[in-house]
Chain A
Amino acid sequence: MALIQLQEVSKIFGFGEATTLALDEVELTVEKGEFLAIMGPSGCGKTTLMNIIGLLDRPTHGKYLLDGRDAAKLRSNQRAKMRRDRIGFVFQFYNLLPRLNVLHNVALPLAYRGMMPVRRLKRASDILEQVGLRDREYFLPKHLSGGQAQRAAIARALINNPSIIIADEPTGNLDSHDSKVVMELLADLHRQGHTILMVTHNPELTRYASRVIYMRDGTIVEDESTSIGAVAKGALRTYLRRRKTTQEDVIAGVSALLKDVPGKELASQPKIAKYRKLHKRARRRIRSKI
């Protein structure tokens, strides 16, 4: 049985004129032990997809099976407990609590499990050892470098030994050296058998992935299995095309990296009809709730 299974998952934000179709009938299956990289331009729905898989958000339509269990049937506190025990989040901006030191930040998920302070701090300390931050235990997040903060965040994501690690642009805020340290850490976790979902804009980082999906306008436009160590073909295409920023692009303020994503021809077909259909369904649903 697949670890993650999305069937026709759609997500609509807002009402009326302000409606956004963030995910458009996404189909995705992720097996245990995969290292999945997700690429695509800004606003194409990567974060929304991660939030739904990470049980932070619910799809407007469609079905999400986590380990064969229908996520829609989980109650709010069951979802919280699943996030705590089965899913580890790593964010672009680290999201450490500024007023807690590194040790307490890392131990936080254990606190919500009701573990005694002495035990959980001991365990946090062990994990920090693994990510090479033992000597920064009593630092506040603001006294860490970006790479250190992200490693602390990874330690926090790891502390409950989750089966899924969701990293949304984990290197988005790091220089190339720190990026490498963080990626090696994720690669290590992958080798240990963790399933990793990572959003990235950097084609270079697809080297660490076993599979890459490309998104555009809320759908997956390409799905590629890659060998670890090599840059994914689709990503490479973007990579090579990257320098070809035209004068018009500069004037329009569009970054070539964000613009040139494979599957452009697929994604460019008009979706208005589909959007209308979905929107109508959503409205009906909302009305029936009231």
Chain B
Amino acid sequence: MWSGNVKTALANLRSSKTRSLLTMLGIIIGVSSVITVVSLGEGLKQRLVGQIRQIDPAVVIIRPGKLVDTAGTDKMNLNLLALLSPTTLTENDVGALAKIPSVSTVVPLNFATNSLASDGRQLNNISVLGTTPSLTKVLDQKVERGAFFSEENEGEKLAVIGSDIAKQLFDGTNPIAHSISIKGESFIVRGVLAPSPGGLLSIAQTDFNSVVYIPFNEAKKISGGQTNILQILAGVRDGQNIDVAVLDVKQTLLNSHGNQDDFTVLKQRELLKLANDTVGSAAGFITAIAAISLLVAGIGIMDIMLVSVSERTREIGIRKAVGATNRQILNQFLVEGMALSVGGGIIGITMALLIYFGLRLYTRLEPVLTAPIMILAVVVSVVVGVIFSVAPALKAARKDPIVALRGE
């Protein structure tokens, strides 16, 4: 009976193709957008997590402003406003932190500028960061060619460039010892970083592939003695408890900020959680919108099916006259509604796959498709189909055969 129902359902849907397609449109859009959005979120999350994992777990991260709003709950909310306001971290803070016994290394990331030039080529939208040679101790940044600058290089104008910058400026030729111009000052390329999980968005506000590291003091010099410290990384001394270090760091900063709590101290683990929570809540929000769109799609299916039941009153009467039970009529229309929504789901998944490959090929968004989301999409479309076919199917099953046969 089921295979027969499926066949009948498909025949009926085929006989009114345009209508069937229009009915499925809601499901198609709903399913494909959910999959796309979730795959983008997943891609973003994986990249963020990859970036954060480059930070040594035994490192305390200090950010300006109240970046995280915990509000007494377990959940961490990213305070996006904090990313826009000017930094509250100063060179004094770096000095003060260096004196804490539980901390061994203190590495500032000082934003100098966002452009550089070389051989007449200009790159914008990059980050030139002033930092110290200890960066490699707290951040897992592999140097692919050359070396990071060291203590002995104090006073020299050296630069370590990200892999994307190397590609864009030097087209595969060895950039080492070439000179680049930052704010009119000439710097010599000392090393090139290995590619890291890059991204357009990142909590560190930097894509490590398009970063240029120069010595802290040189960065300060080309900015006219000003600093703009985006972040301070403090390595915990061996054998010290990281939570003790966090408390020490907080206390020290409160002291040097005149008791103003205008900074954020995080552990790597918290940063990971922050990334997960942030992407998760964004995805949750979008999923809620998608759920509403599926609801609307379901109501669309119900509507069209109700019209279809009215139009096929006579057919229902005939089927009952030749011996169809109410149950059998019910099943027929349930299967039809399900075929509509499963069909929509399949088309939606196909669309999502096309979008996925399109994004992979033509953008840097790097979406990640996972099996659970695809399965979920199919299940959801089946469930929507069943739920919203119930009312029309019941209407069909309850039709009085006499009235149905009279209806010309």
Chain A positions near chain B (C-beta within 8 angstroms): 51, 54, 56-57, 76-77, 80-81, 83-85, 89, 91, 95-97, 99-100, 108-109, 111-114, 117, 156, 160
Contact = CB atoms under 8 A, between A and B. Distances in A.
B4 interface: yes
Given A80-B328, A97-B315, A108-B322, 9 more contacts: A76-B325, A77-B326, A77-B327, A81-B323, A83-B320, A83-B321, A113-B323, A117-B4, A156-B322
B325 A77 contact: yes
Contacts of B326: 76-77, 80
Contact of A80 (B4, B315, B320): B320
A53 to B, nearest CB: 13
B11 A112 contact: no
A156 B321 CA distance: 11
Contacts of B323: 80-81, 83-85, 109, 112-113, 160
Interface in B288-332: 314-315, 317-328
B153 interface: no
A56 B325 contact: no
B405 interface: yes
Interface in B40-76: none
B322 A81 contact: no
A99 B1 CA distance: 18
Given A57-B402, A95-B318, A99-B15, A114 B324 contact: no
A240 B323 CA distance: 41
Interface in B186-224: none
Interface in B71-129: none
A112 B325 CA distance: 8
B401 interface: yes
A95 B321 contact: yes
Contacts of A81: 323, 325
B150 interface: no
19 contacts: A54-B321, A57-B401, A57-B402, A80-B320, A80-B328, A83-B321, A84-B323, A95-B318, A95-B321, A97-B318, A99-B11, A99-B12, A108-B319, A108-B322, A109-B323, A112-B319, A112-B323, A117-B3, A160-B323
Contacts of A54: 321
A84 B319 CA distance: 10
B101 to A, nearest CB: 83
A95 to B, nearest CB: 5
A123 to B, nearest CB: 14
A80 B3 CA distance: 21
Interface in B356-408: 401-402, 405
B318 A51 contact: no
Contact of A84 (B11, B314, B322, B327): B322
B320 A111 contact: no
A95 B314 contact: yes
Given A51-B402, A56-B320, A97-B318, A80 B12 contact: no
Nearest to A57: B402
A156 B11 CA distance: 20
Nearest to A51: B402
A156 B318 CA distance: 11
B398 to A, nearest CB: 10
Contacts of B328: 80, 112
In the A-B complex, the 10 residue pairs with the smallest Cβ-Cβ separation, listed nearest first, are A84-B323, A80-B325, A77-B325, A109-B322, A112-B323, A83-B323, A95-B318, A56-B401, A57-B402, A112-B324
Contact of B321 (A56, A100, A160): A56
A141 B287 CA distance: 48
Contacts of B320: 56, 80, 83
A111 B405 CA distance: 20
Contacts of B315: 97
A56 B322 contact: no
B395 to A, nearest CB: 16
Nearest to A99: B15
Nearest to A98: B315
A77 B15 CA distance: 30
A83 B405 contact: no
B317 to A, nearest CB: 8
B1 A80 contact: no
A113 B318 CA distance: 15
B405 A114 contact: no
Contacts of B405: 56, 91, 95
A89 B1 contact: no
A100 B318 CA distance: 13
B20 to A, nearest CB: 14
A83 B4 CA distance: 20
